[in-house]
Amino acid sequence: MTTSNSATARNRVELPPMPREGEARSLYRQIPLERSRLHGDDLVFDREGGFGRALAQGFFLLRIPDGLDPVSGDRLANEFYRDRAGDALDPFRGFRDTEVPGDYQGYFDREHDQWENLYVERANWSLLPTEVAELGQGMADLGIAVLRAVLSHLDVPQHLWSTVSSGLSDRRGHQMLAFNHFRSQKATRGCKFHRDSGWVTVLRSVEPGLLALIEGELGSVDPVPGYFIVNFGSSLEVLTESLPTPVRANIHGVVSTERARTRPDRTSYVTFLDSDLDGTIYRLENGMAHPLQSVAEFAVQEVSRTYDDAGVL
């Protein structure tokens, strides 16, 4: 049974209830993620067979390159939802009231989640502090390099890369920074179990709380100092699902955060890498790219299920 008649719909998944933070620590084991680094254009894994395991799990760790400092992003994630106070942190604040032009952008207060978000696409990164925009570009470049390495590893003909990714493989496409604050005072889930809708997501997180449903089993995807967490999105899963080695966009979500008053809330930020809304979703079969659906339709299908209160995906 599928979720709709769409050519890109996956099998319906009954979602487990999202546990609270303390429950998750006691119930779910840490998933041993593969560690990797970029060496020129090559994505190199520390262990033999690591590339294949990363594609199957849908998550892996990517070493943060020298010269790419995540501190400015950490600061914005900690401050974007606060009012300006007339001090040195003001450039990182006041984004609840900042108008960001474009679809799926700006500040969002999620009805069913502890999540509140700030989404800003690359064309609007001038609204952010300069060092944050530079960090976002560095993270986007890493994610695009990962995408190119995956397509190469799967022997996808290079002349198809730009077509199937709507130019993302050539550093175009949709490059979005998203900052997340999980409000512990809000008695609900952290965020719903979902798949990311795009190609590659590069995540900066500094504490546990992310759970993933891998091969039917929930486990904890924990950060490691010096590494980003990378996961694959639905566009890449749909593209490769008929290949001998398909890429999995595994289902994940964030626990309900619990905090004492003296301890800061959980925050994180990501770079989402996607096709432009006027692009097309493809599936590869027999060396050919078959168009399935517009990216705009695919986005509505995927994103709407990310923020609803249903117990299925």
Handedness of CA 169, 174, 179, 182 (dihedral sign): negative
Distances in Å between the Cα of 295 and the Cα atoms of 8, 95, 132, 260 are 11, 28, 28, 42
Residue 11 maps to a domain: no
Query: Does residue 3 form part of some domain?
Result: no
Burial 265-283 (b: 16+ CB within 10 A, else e): ebbbbbbbbbbebebbbbb
How many distinct structural domains can be found in the chain?
1
With contact defined as beta carbons under 8 Å apart, do 57 and 165 qualify? no
Residue 193: inside a domain: yes
Q: What is the CATH number of the domain that holds 249?
A: 2.60.120.330
CA 236 to chain centre: 13
Is residue 202, in this structure, part of any structural domain at all? yes
pTM score, whole prediction: 0.96
- Tens digits of residue pLDDT in 16-49: 889 999 999 999 999 999 999 999 989 999 999 9
Stretch 287-309: mean pLDDT, rounded? 92
pLDDT tens, residue by residue, 231-273: 999 999 999 999 999 999 999 999 999 988 778 999 999 999 9
pLDDT of amino acid 303: 84
Average pLDDT over residues 108-123: 96
Q: Is residue 37 part of a domain?
A: yes
Give percent of the chain above pLDDT 70: 99
Nearest in space to 284 (alpha carbons), one of 250, 246, 233: 246
pLDDT recorded at residue 2: 41
Residue range of the domain that includes 202: 23-306
Express each pLDDT in 201-234 by its tens digit. 999 999 999 999 988 889 999 999 999 999 999 9
Is 279 part of a structural domain of the chain?
yes
Q: Find, among 54, 7, 56, 12, the residue nearest to 282 by Cα.
A: 7
pLDDT given for residue 68 in this prediction: 97
Return the closest-CA partner of residue 56 out of 243, 303, 248, 220: 248
pLDDT, residue 260, reads: 81
